[in-house]
């Protein structure tokens, strides 16, 4: 559901008891942690138990599994995820009691008041770029507050209240949240039409990024390798990055393999800067260039920052290595848009080398599959074998005219199979893969649980 942003967002310190509906999600869990670390009374609920809800409980936050009106307790503010439906009993109870109802953007903005903010926006790469900036700044001796859209292993969390007045946040555009924040410096990774169920058109989506950049008080960095982001050049105080020849911070001499990614950074009047990343793929080098632009804005120690980039080992569900069994390596990634699929399949190819690449994909949302299903299938064609599961509905209702077959029909070249419900996908994949294969599960839904189950089956059969 979409909750309007209040005209006045009170600072977090003035909030007494905040209840978060959908607290087990990446966005709300970060807000919950930051509020709790500021001394605010925090509770929340989620539909299902998870490692993240258990971690929040271990940190002292009250988490209810299942949604019930009584979960609200004496909350004076209720923060709602966009994935929550309007008939959620806690939302209904809050409205009936006149309890203040906020979208997640207002919850995060309440924490940012009084801090210098670096906000990372873009269709793809927000999580990685934000994590890289935080990792670099911490290695350079700074202690920023941060909120990231996934758990980051090298940071040990997705959010932490820092001791400096600086905050680094992932600014999500899916529901317009990124226009609520008041950043000092912005980062735009790319602008590639998505979330059209909210924005209505590609033009409206692109115009929102213009508003975002114009709202950044000290300017912004944009990635020139993306045509959508390139359209932002000419806005005030824009710094450009990328492998394009006209980028202010230009990447050169790129190489990527299973060991990571290496490149050099060229900036007019300065010596070339070598950078080595522990993650594989051109898109990670592009993210790192944007992170370096943020480093220059802050004025952090460059050597320390680059060392921090090299220490970044990826974020949860961003080409995350899950393990190996029976000679099969398994990775999991959040990719759900054609551009993200293309980048992750290319990265998987670099990791796999001459080995066979098997990709299992779960389309996310009926609306996205209707618009991009054919493109998804074409990008999956770079694998050696493709399995496409049923659509993850999330907040939408099924549409008999839109199914995973839209994706399957566009796969050209490799063997392509219908995977059906995700609950049975692990059994199918365990039969398909063989020693030496690299298996990647892709999608923003519950396909993330499939990789570990495949590993369990392979180990049991070994």
**Rounded to whole angstroms, how far apart are CA atoms 241 and 292?**
9
- Fold match flag (12-109 vs 320-461): no
**Which pLDDT score, from 0 to 100, does residue 358 have?**
96
User: 146 near 156, Cβ under 8 Å?
Assistant: no
Q: Annotated catalytic residue: which of 53, 77, 82, 127? A: 127
Q: Annotated catalytic residue: which of 170, 320, 340, 379? A: 170
| pTM, two decimal places | 0.81
Q: Is the pLDDT of residue 280 over 90?
A: no
Domain range summary for the chain, segments of one domain joined by + = 12-109, 114-311, 320-461
**Which pLDDT score, from 0 to 100, does residue 316 have?**
67
pLDDT tens, position by position, 398-435? 999 999 999 999 998 888 889 999 999 999 999 999 99
Q: Which CATH superfamily is domain 12-109 in?
A: NAD(P)-binding Rossmann-like Domain (3.40.50.720)
Q: Annotated catalytic residue: which of 53, 77, 123, 126? A: 126
* pLDDT band of 239, cuts 50, 70, 90: very high
Q: What are the distances in angstroms from CA 401 to CA 63, 199, 362, 416?
A: 38, 22, 17, 20
Q: Is the pLDDT of residue 216 over 90?
A: yes
Is 354 an annotated catalytic residue? no
**Which pLDDT score, from 0 to 100, does residue 315 have?**
65
**Rounded to whole angstroms, how far apart are CA atoms 321 and 274?**
26
* pLDDT band of 335, cuts 50, 70, 90: confident
Distance of alpha carbon 3 from its chain centroid, rounded?
A: 21
| φ, ψ of residue 239 in degrees (nearest 5) | -105, 135
The neighbouring-strand residues paired with 389 are 420
Q: Is the pLDDT of residue 138 over 90?
A: yes
pLDDT tens, position by position, 310-322? 988 876 667 788 9
CATH architecture of the region 114-311: 3-Layer(aba) Sandwich (3.40)
Is 82 an annotated catalytic residue? no
pLDDT tens, position by position, 354-376? 899 999 999 999 998 998 899 99
Q: Which two tokens stand for residue 282?
A: 């051109």
Q: Can you give the three-state secondary structure of the chain, one letter per residue?
A: CCCCCCCCCCCHHHCCEEEEECCCCHHHHHHHHHHHHCCCEEEEEECCCCHHHHHHHHCCCEEEECCCHHHHCCCCEEEECCCCCCCCHHHHHHHHHCCEEEEHHHHHHHHHCCCEEEEEECCCCHHHHHHHHHHHHHHCCCCCEEEEEEEECCCCEEEECCCCCEEEEECCCCCCHHHCCCCCEEEECCCCCCCHHHHCCHHHHHHHHHHHHHCCCCCEEEECCCHHHHCCECECCEEEEECCCCCCEEEEEEEEECCEEEEEEECCCCCCEEEEECCCCHHHHHHHHHHHHHHHHHCCCHHHHHHHHHHCCCECCCCEEEEEECCEEEEEECCCCHHHHHHHHHHHHHHHCCCCEEEEECCECHHHHHHHHHHHHHHHCCCCEEEEECCECCCCCCCCCCCCHHHHCCCCCCEEEEEECHHHHHHHHHHHCCCCCEEEEECCCHHHHHHHHHHHHHHHHC
Q: Are strands 320-325 and 385-389 parallel, antiparallel or unpaired?
A: unpaired
Q: Is the pLDDT of residue 74 over 70?
A: yes
CB within 8 Å of 161: residues ≥ 6 apart: 34, 37, 38, 145
**Which pLDDT score, from 0 to 100, does residue 56 have?**
96
**Rounded to whole angstroms, how far apart are CA atoms 169 and 347?**
25
Q: Which CATH superfamily is domain 320-461 in?
A: Mur ligase, C-terminal domain (3.90.190.20)
User: 282 near 128, Cβ under 8 Å?
Assistant: no
Q: Is the pLDDT of residue 1 over 90?
A: no
**Rounded to whole angstroms, how far apart are CA atoms 281 and 274?**
16
Is 127 an annotated catalytic residue? yes
């Amino acid at each position: 559901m979409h909750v309007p942003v209040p005209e006045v967002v009170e600072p977090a310190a003035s909030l007494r008891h905040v209840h978060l509906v959908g607290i087990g999600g990446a966005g709300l869990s970060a807000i919950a942690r930051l509020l709790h670390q500021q001394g605010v009374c925090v509770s929340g609920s989620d539909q299902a138990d998870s490692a993240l809800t258990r971690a929040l409980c271990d940190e002292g936050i009250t988490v209810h599994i299942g949604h019930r009106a009584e979960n609200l307790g004496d909350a004076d503010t209720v923060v709602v995820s966009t994935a929550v439906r309007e008939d959620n009993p806690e939302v209904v109870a809050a409205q009936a009691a006149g309890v203040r109802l906020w979208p997640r953007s207002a919850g995060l903005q309440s924490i940012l008041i009084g801090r210098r903010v670096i906000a990372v926006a873009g269709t793809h790469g927000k999580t990685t770029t934000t994590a890289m900036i935080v990792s670099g700044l911490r290695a350079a001796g700074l202690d920023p507050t941060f909120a990231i859209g996934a758990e980051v292993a090298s940071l040990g969390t997705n959010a932490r209240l820092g001791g400096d007045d600086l905050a680094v946040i992932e600014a999500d555009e899916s529901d317009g949240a990124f226009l609520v924040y008041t950043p000092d410096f912005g980062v735009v990774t790319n602008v590639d039409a998505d979330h059209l169920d909210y924005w209505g058109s590609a033009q409206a989506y692109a115009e929102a990024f213009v508003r975002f950049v114009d709202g950044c008080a000290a300017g912004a960095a944009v990635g020139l390798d993306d045509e959508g982001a390139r359209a932002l050049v000419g806005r005030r105080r824009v710094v450009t990055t990328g492998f394009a020849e006209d980028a202010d911070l230009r990447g050169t001499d790129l190489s990527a393999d299973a060991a990571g990614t290496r490149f050099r950074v060229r900036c007019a009047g300065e010596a070339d800067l070598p950078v080595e990343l522990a993650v594989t793929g051109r898109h990670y080098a592009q993210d790192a260039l944007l992170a370096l632009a943020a480093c220059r804005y802050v004025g952090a120690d460059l050597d320390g920052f680059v060392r921090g980039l090299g220490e970044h080992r990826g974020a949860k569900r961003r080409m995350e290595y899950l393990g190996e069994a029976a000679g099969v390596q398994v990775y999991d990634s959040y990719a759900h848009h054609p551009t993200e699929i293309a980048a992750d399949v290319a990265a998987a190819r670099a990791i796999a080398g001459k080995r066979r690449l098997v990709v299992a994909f779960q389309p996310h949302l009926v609306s996205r599959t209707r618009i991009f299903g054919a493109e998804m299938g074409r990008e999956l064609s770079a694998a050696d074998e493709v399995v496409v599961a049923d659509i993850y509905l999330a907040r939408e209702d099924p549409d008999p005219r839109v199914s995973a077959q839209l994706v399957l029909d566009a796969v050209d070249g490799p063997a392509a199979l219908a995977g059906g419900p995700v609950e049975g996908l692990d059994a199918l994949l365990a039969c398909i893969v063989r020693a030496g294969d690299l298996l990647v599960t892709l999608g923003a839904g519950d396909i993330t649980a499939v990789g570990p189950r495949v590993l369990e089956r392979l180990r049991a059969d070994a």
